[in-house]
Structure formats: structure tokens, C-alpha cells
């Protein structure tokens, strides 16, 4: 992508009263644009990142054997009345059609997925089953805040699993827990796996996945070494204790909840009377689990975790581009060589952003730092005098000169 063709650009002027790093940097870098409180457009640069994150999630869910579907966000009131959530969930957006019919905008999809699976599955032989989607969710938050961390409309992966036995659910639940840790780790984020109260289903298991950062909303007591953590509100460990899992030191810290998994028990299969035949030919109520990852929030969490005073520092796995090619100076030869190099990188299948603008060196370099692509290549009269380009990793201080002839090998 040539920067001059990109839609959305960097700006020096950012809203002074917004304070979260992700809101500032994603806006300033041209990744997102705020439409209203808690609602954002994902511009091409930001969409690249969001898609990288969602692809990682997709791959790990597929690896679990889960199947991707895409369910409607527009949902009939009747389903929500069956589960008693029409009146009880205050963050549910409710809308009326011109004929005065009531609909919900999905804040979650239990009410859709349960009757959906019920239509197709009638035998224990077809279970277990896990389906997931990556979709837009709507929540009527009283206070949207912190950029993309708490929105009213946001992206989420939600998965639902169906089982005939508790053992089967427990097994899948544990495998999903491990898959989640892997998803976050692939995005560059180490999480604490926090046993949670389970919301309204207090008797059942629930885990939160907390990305550790000072920007977090939740206060945790967590192990320095391993993934053990507890929400401070329900913690049984204290600061300075030994970790019950690994013996490491327990510290107080803050986290962003980037994922949450629940054992739903029969709550929803009860509401919809979802039963299948078991091996004895008798009907059996299903046990369900649900598993969420806020993918747009995860992008925000990555920014909160990886930035400095100059801008974002994307991990390679979710970076909008792998290489940021910066051509400096109006020298014609520089332009020619830069274009050659750009095409060479494209041919090699390397995702490259070429800053081909007629802008000053300072402006281009500052923008490169702000946008935060992992590898920066500078090509200028100076580097060409030595048949070289300058290579600098965004997360390192030193740059090195590389012969152009050796560059492709180096980028492998």
C-alpha cells in the first residue's frame, strides 16, 4: 500500500480531554474514527489489525473443532422473553419496527444459537458440538469509555458448545481455556486466567482472561510468574502470598478483561427445552458453555500494552503491515529505487506500507513511529550511496545498514 493512496491519515491534533492511550494513538495514527461515544469506524489501517486479530482467533477456534457460523444481530423479542432476559438485561438495545414489533440488537447470542442448534441436532451421536461467530455486538452501556475498550457497538467472537454430560463440557471448557491463552499469546499478550464469580450463574464455573496493564479497569491479585490470578473482590490470596499454582509471588495489578468463558449449565436449554435422545433412547437436557473474546477490545489492549511516547509498537502477528518503507528526499533516484524495492517486497508477499508522500523527513519518520509497523526501512540518497537501506525495528533503538542485495534474505 502506498501511503499517498491510503484513506485515513495521521494527525497532530488529538482531542485533549480523552486520556486513554488506545483512543489517542488509534485516532492519531488513522486506525479508527469515532462516530459517537463508544462507536468507531475501523479505517483501512485499523481494519488490517482487527482482521489479523480475528484471524488468529478463528484459527484457534477451528483447531478446537468448532465451526464458524454468522448469526443475525437483529433478534426477535420472543426469544429474549423465553429466557427472561428481555426485561432483566438493561444493556440490551431494544428497537421497534414501523409496525410496532419489538426486536433486540444482539448483546450476546444464546437466544439465537440455542434454537438454531435445536433445529438441527436431535441425537447424542451428533454431540458435542461447538459453533462460533465473529460478529458485531451491541450493548447499551451507560458510560462508554476508554476508546475501543468499552464500546456500545463492538466486535466479539462468541462460541457456544453443547454437551450431554458435565464431563464432556468440562473437557471442552479446559481445552478452550488453553486455546484462549494461546490466542492472547499469539497477539503478544500474556494473560492471567482469573476464576470469576460467574455472573448470574453463581454456582457454575467461569473464567476471565485479564491482560495485565496499568490501563486496566479490574484490580487483580495475580502471580508474578504463572497465569494464576484472582479478582480482588473475591480473592482468597493476599499480596505477598505464595501462588497456589506455582509458588510464585502474588502481586496486586490491573487488567483488561479480554475474554470470558462460562459453564452455562442447562440455563438456556431449559428455557428452550432443548433435549436430544441419549443412548438409552431417553430424552436428555443439554449442557451448554459459552466463550467470548472481545476482538476490538483486544486490539485496544494490545495498544495499551505496546506503545511509547512516540506511538504504537505492534507485535508482528497483528501489525497492519510488516514493513514500513520510508523514502526520504525528492531525489529522483531515491524515488526510482524506492519504487523498485516496494515492488520487490510486494512480489515476495511481504505486507509493505510505502510512505511515498512528498513530506519532510521529520514528518515521515514521526508518522512511522506513530503507526508502529514492526520493521522500518529507510531509503535515501545517503543509504543509496552505499547501495543500502537502513533497517530499524520499532521496538529497538539501533538501526543497521543493509545492502539492498541482501535485504530480501534478511527479511525472511
User: Applying CB under 7 A, does 11 fall inside the site for RNA?
Assistant: yes
User: Applying CB under 7 A, does 370 fall inside the site for RNA?
Assistant: yes
User: Applying CB under 7 A, does 139 fall inside the site for RNA?
Assistant: yes
Q: Would you say the C-alpha torsion 232, 235, 241, 242 has a positive or negative sign?
A: negative
User: Applying CB under 7 A, does 75 fall inside the site for RNA?
Assistant: no
Dist CA 390 CA 368 (whole Å): 14
Q: In the stretch 210-229, what mask flags binding to RNA with x, by CB under 7 A?
A: -------x------------
Could you tell me how many residues of this chain bind RNA (CB under 7 A)? Answer: 63
User: Applying CB under 7 A, does 178 fall inside the site for RNA?
Assistant: no
User: Applying CB under 7 A, does 256 fall inside the site for RNA?
Assistant: no
User: Applying CB under 7 A, does 14 fall inside the site for RNA?
Assistant: yes
Report yes or no: 379 and 334 within 8 Å, Cβ to Cβ: yes
Q: What angle do CA 362, 366, 372 make, to 5 degrees?
A: 150
Q: 243 or 407: whose CB is closer to RNA?
A: 407
Nearest distance from C-beta of residue 248 to RNA, angstroms: 27
Q: 161 or 243: whose CB is closer to RNA?
A: 161
Report yes or no: 335 and 385 within 8 Å, Cβ to Cβ: no
User: Applying CB under 7 A, does 333 fall inside the site for RNA?
Assistant: no
Nearest distance from C-beta of residue 283 to RNA, angstroms: 26
User: Applying CB under 7 A, does 19 fall inside the site for RNA?
Assistant: yes
Q: Considering only 29-37, 125-133, 183-191, 241-249, which stretch makes contact with RNA by CB under 7 A?
A: 29-37
Dist CA 327 CA 363 (whole Å): 12
Cα dihedral: 138, 144, 146, 150 (round 10): -30
Figure out which of the listed residues 1, 6, 47, 89 binds RNA, where binding follows CB under 7 A: 89
Beta-bridged to residue 71, according to DSSP, are: none
SS3 category, 332: helix
Nine-digit cell at 99?
409496525
Report yes or no: 352 and 339 within 8 Å, Cβ to Cβ: no
Nearest distance from C-beta of residue 200 to RNA, angstroms: 4
Figure out which of the listed residues 229, 289, 292, 372 binds RNA, where binding follows CB under 7 A: 292
Nine-digit cell at 64?
478446537
User: Applying CB under 7 A, does 324 fall inside the site for RNA?
Assistant: no
Show the DSSP H helices in 325-403 as ranges: 332-347, 361-371, 381-384
Nine-digit cell at 201?
450463574
Q: Considering only 32-40, 54-62, 118-126, 234-242, which stretch makes contact with RNA by CB under 7 A?
A: 32-40
Dist CA 253 CA 270 (whole Å): 39
Nearest distance from C-beta of residue 334 to RNA, angstroms: 8
Report yes or no: 277 and 284 within 8 Å, Cβ to Cβ: yes
Nearest distance from C-beta of residue 10 to RNA, angstroms: 5
Cis geometry, peptide bond prior to residue 214 (ω within 30 degrees of 0): no
Figure out which of the listed residues 365, 373, 402, 407 binds RNA, where binding follows CB under 7 A: 365
Q: Is 254 buried (19+), middle (13-18) or exposed (0-12) by CB count in 10 A?
A: middle
CA distances from 23 to 31, 190, 214, 300 (A): 10, 22, 15, 8
Give, as ranges, the residues between 258 and 287 that touch RNA (CB under 7 A): 262
Figure out which of the listed residues 52, 58, 150, 307 binds RNA, where binding follows CB under 7 A: 150
Q: Considering only 14-22, 44-52, 74-82, 121-129, which stretch makes contact with RNA by CB under 7 A?
A: 14-22
Dist CA 44 CA 37 (whole Å): 21
User: Applying CB under 7 A, does 60 fall inside the site for RNA?
Assistant: no
Nearest distance from C-beta of residue 408 to RNA, angstroms: 19
Task: Print burial letters for 185-216: b (CB count within 10 Å at least 16), e (below 16).
Answer: ebbbbebbbbbbebeeeeebbbbbbbbbbebb
Figure out which of the listed residues 5, 7, 12, 398 binds RNA, where binding follows CB under 7 A: 12
User: Applying CB under 7 A, does 399 fall inside the site for RNA?
Assistant: yes
Figure out which of the listed residues 4, 37, 214, 273 binds RNA, where binding follows CB under 7 A: 37
Nearest distance from C-beta of residue 85 to RNA, angstroms: 7
Sort residue 8 into left (φ over 0), alpha (ψ -120 to 50) or beta: left
List contacts with RNA (CB under 7 A).
10-20, 23, 28, 34, 36-38, 89-91, 107-108, 137, 139, 141-146, 150, 156, 199-200, 217, 262, 290, 292, 310, 328-330, 358-363, 365-370, 378-383, 390, 392, 399
Amino acid at each position: 500500500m502506498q501511503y499517498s493512496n491510503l484513506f485515513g491519515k495521521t494527525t497532530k491534533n488529538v482531542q485533549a480531554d480523552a486520556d486513554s492511550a488506545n483512543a489517542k494513538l488509534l485516532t492519531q495514527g488513522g486506525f479508527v474514527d469515532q462516530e459517537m461515544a463508544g462507536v468507531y469506524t475501523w479505517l483501512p489501517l485499523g481494519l488490517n489489525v482487527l482482521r489479523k486479530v480475528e484471524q488468529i482467533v478463528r484459527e484457534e477456534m477451528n483447531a478446537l473443532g468448532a465451526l464458524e457460523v454468522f448469526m443475525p444481530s437483529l433478534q426477535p423479542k420472543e426469544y429474549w422473553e423465553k429466557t427472561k432476559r428481555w426485561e432483566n438485561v438493561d444493556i440490551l438495545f431494544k428497537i421497534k419496527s414501523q409496525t410496532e414489533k419489538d426486536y433486540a440488537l444482539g448483546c450476546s447470542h444464546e437466544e439465537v444459537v440455542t434454537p438454531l442448534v435445536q433445529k438441527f441436532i436431535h441425537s447424542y451421536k451428533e454431540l458435542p458440538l461447538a459453533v462460533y461467530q465473529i460478529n458485531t455486538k451491541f450493548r447499551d452501556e451507560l458510560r462508554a469509555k476508554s476508546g475501543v475498550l468499552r464500546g456500545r457497538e463492538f466486535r466479539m467472537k462468541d462460541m457456544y458448545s453443547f454437551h450431554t454430560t458435565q464431563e464432556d463440557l468440562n473437557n471442552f471448557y479446559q481445552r478452550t481455556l488453553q486455546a484462549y491463552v494461546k490466542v492472547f499469546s499469539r497477539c503478544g499478550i500474556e494473560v492471567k486466567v482469573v476464576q470469576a464469580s460467574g455472573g448470574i450463574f453463581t454456582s457454575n464455573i467461569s473464567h476471565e482472561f485479564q491482560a495485565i496493564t496499568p490501563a486496566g479497569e479490574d484490580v487483580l491479585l495475580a502471580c508474578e510468574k504463572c497465569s494464576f490470578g484472582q479478582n480482588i473482590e473475591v480473592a482468597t490470596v493476599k499480596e505477598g502470598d505464595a501462588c497456589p499454582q506455582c509458588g510464585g509471588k502474588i502481586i496486586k495489578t490491573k487488567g483488561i478483561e479480554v475474554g470470558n468463558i462460562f459453564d452455562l449449565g442447562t440455563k438456556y436449554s431449559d428455557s428452550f427445552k432443548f433435549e436430544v435422545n441419549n443412548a438409552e433412547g431417553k430424552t436428555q437436557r443439554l449442557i451448554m458453555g459459552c466463550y467470548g473474546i472481545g476482538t476490538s477490545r483486544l486490539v485496544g489492549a494490545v495498544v495499551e500494552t505496546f506503545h511509547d511516547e512516540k506511538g504504537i509498537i505492534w507485535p508482528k502477528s497483528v501489525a497492519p503491515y510488516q514493513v514500513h518503507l520510508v523514502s526520504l528526499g525528492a531525489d529522483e533516484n531515491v524515488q526510482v529505487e524506492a519504487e523498485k524495492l516496494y515492488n520487490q517486497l510486494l512480489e515476495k508477499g511481504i505486507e509493505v506500507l510505502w510512505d511515498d508522500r512528498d513530506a519532510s523527513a521529520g514528518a515521515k519518520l514521526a508518522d512511522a513511529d506513530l503507526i508502529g509497523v514492526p520493521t522500518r526501512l529507510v531509503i535515501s540518497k545517503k543509504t543509496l550511496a552505499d547501495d543500502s537501506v537502513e533497517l530499524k525495528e520499532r521496538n529497538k533503538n539501533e538501526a543497521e545498514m543493509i545492502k539492498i542485495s541482501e535485504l530480501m534474505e534478511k527479511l525472511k
